[in-house]
C-alpha cells in the first residue's frame, strides 16, 4: 500500500519562508504588494494590496484596497477605490528565512500589539482548515509557488495520496466576481503550507 503522504511526512522538505511584516516606511516600491493596516495596540487587517505612496501636503499615504479589488482591477484594466492610509499605519508582507517545520507545533503564541504578528507557515496536514486560505506549494527542489488559494480540504486522491486542490489567486478571486469556476491543480498535501 502506498504511503498516503508521499513518503515525506517526517519533514524531508523545509517549510517555505514565513511572512514577516515590515513597516511601509522601510519598504521600497509598494505597487501590488500585500500589506497589513492597523494601529499598534488596536489590531490589524490583512488581505489587502497597496499602490505606490502618495504625498498630500506634508503627509505620506498608501493607497490600499482589498485584494479581490486589486486582482479585478488588474485583470479587467479598470480603476477601483483605494483608501488612503497614513504610511505609518501600513506594514508590507515580506518573506523571512526558510526553516523546518515542527509537526503539530502551536502557532497561536502570545504576541506584542506593537506590530502585526509574524506568521510561520503551517503544514496543510497540520492546519485546522484549508479552503479559501492562502497557501504555498513547495516543490521537490525547494522552489516556492505562491499566490495560491486552497479550494478544498485535504482528501485522498484516486491513487491513495493525501492531496489538496489549489487555484491561482487571480482565478480564486475571479470566481467570486464572475462565477467562473477556477482551474485547479491537485497537489500532494505534504507539499502544501498555509501562509
Same domain, yes or no: 69 and 34 = yes
Residue 11 included in any domain: no
Same domain flag for 127 and 73: no
In a domain, 49, yes or no: yes
Residue 117 domain flag: no
The answer to whether position 107 is within a domain reads: no
Task: Check residue 2 and give its pLDDT.
Answer: 44
Q: What is the pLDDT of residue 46?
A: 95
The pLDDT tens digits of the residues spanning 77-116 come to 999 999 999 999 999 999 988 754 444 445 556 778 889 9
Same structural domain, 151 and 187: yes
Residues 63 and 128 in one domain: no
> Which of the four pLDDT bands, split at 50, 70 and 90, describes residue 140?
confident
Q: Which residue has the cell 515525506?
A: 8
- The predicted pLDDT at position 124 comes to 96
Residue 9 has pLDDT above 50, yes or no: no
Q: What is the pLDDT of residue 142?
A: 87
Answer left, alpha or beta for residue 179, where phi above 0 means left and psi between -120 and 50 means alpha.
left
Arithmetic mean of pLDDT, 37-62: 95
Q: Is 70 found in the same domain as 23?
A: yes
Distance CA 90, CA 95 (A): 16
pLDDT digits (tens, 9 = 90+) for 153-173: 999 999 999 999 999 999 999
- Residues 79 and 38 grouped into a single domain: yes
Q: Hey, what's the cell of 158?
A: 484516486
Q: How many CA atoms lie within 13 A of 173 on its CB side?
A: 18
**Has residue 11 got a pLDDT over 70?**
no
Q: How many CB atoms lie within 10 A of CB 9?
A: 15
As a whole number of angstroms, the distance between CA 135 and CA 121 comes to: 9
**Structural domain containing residue 47:** 19-95
69 vs 117, which has greater pLDDT?
69
Overall domain count for the chain: 2
Report how far residue 121's alpha carbon sits from residue 131's, in angstroms, rounded to the nearest whole number.
Answer: 16
Q: Residue 3 above 70 pLDDT?
A: no
* Position 12 pLDDT exceeds 80: no
Does residue 39 sit within a domain?
yes
Q: Please give the pLDDT value at position 27.
A: 87
Spatial separation of the C-alpha atoms in residues 192 and 129, rounded to whole Å: 13
Same domain, 174 and 126: yes
What's residue 113's pLDDT? Answer: 83
145 and 81 in one domain?
Answer: no
Examine residue 12 and state whether it is found in any structural domain, yes or no.
Answer: no
87 and 23 housed in the same domain: yes
User: Does residue 115 lie within any of the structural domains?
Assistant: no
Tell me what pLDDT residue 6 has: 47
Evaluate whether 90 touches 62 at the Cβ level (below 8 Å).
yes
Q: Are residues 130 and 183 in the same domain?
A: yes
Note the pLDDT of residue 33. 97
113 part of a folded domain? no
Judge if 134 and 71 occupy the same domain. no
Calculate mean pLDDT across residues 19-41: 94
Amino acid at each position: 500500500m502506498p504511503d498516503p503522504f508521499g513518503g515525506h511526512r517526517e519533514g524531508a522538505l523545509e517549510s517555505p519562508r514565513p511572512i514577516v511584516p515590515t513597516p511601509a516606511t522601510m519598504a521600497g516600491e509598494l505597487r501590488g504588494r500585500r500589506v497589513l493596516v492597523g494601529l499598534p495596540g488596536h489590531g490589524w487587517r490583512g488581505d489587502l494590496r497597496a499602490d505606490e505612496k502618495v504625498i498630500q501636503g506634508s503627509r505620506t499615504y498608501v493607497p490600499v484596497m482589498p485584494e479581490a479589488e486589486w486582482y479585478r482591477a488588474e485583470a479587467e484594466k479598470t480603476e477601483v477605490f483605494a483608501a488612503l492610509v497614513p504610511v505609518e499605519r501600513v506594514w508590507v508582507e515580506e518573506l523571512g528565512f526558510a526553516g523546518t517545520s515542527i509537526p503539530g507545533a502551536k502557532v497561536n503564541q502570545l504576541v506584542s500589539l506593537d506590530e502585526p504578528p509574524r506568521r510561520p507557515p503551517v503544514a496543510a496536514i497540520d492546519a485546522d482548515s484549508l479552503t479559501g486560505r492562502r497557501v504555498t506549494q513547495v516543490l521537490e527542489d525547494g522552489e516556492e509557488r505562491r499566490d495560491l488559494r486552497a479550494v478544498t480540504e485535504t482528501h485522498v486522491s484516486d491513487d491513495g495520496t493525501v492531496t489538496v486542490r489549489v487555484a491561482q489567486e487571480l482565478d480564486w478571486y475571479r470566481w467570486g466576481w464572475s462565477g467562473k469556476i477556477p482551474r485547479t491543480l491537485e497537489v500532494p498535501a505534504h507539499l502544501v503550507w498555509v501562509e
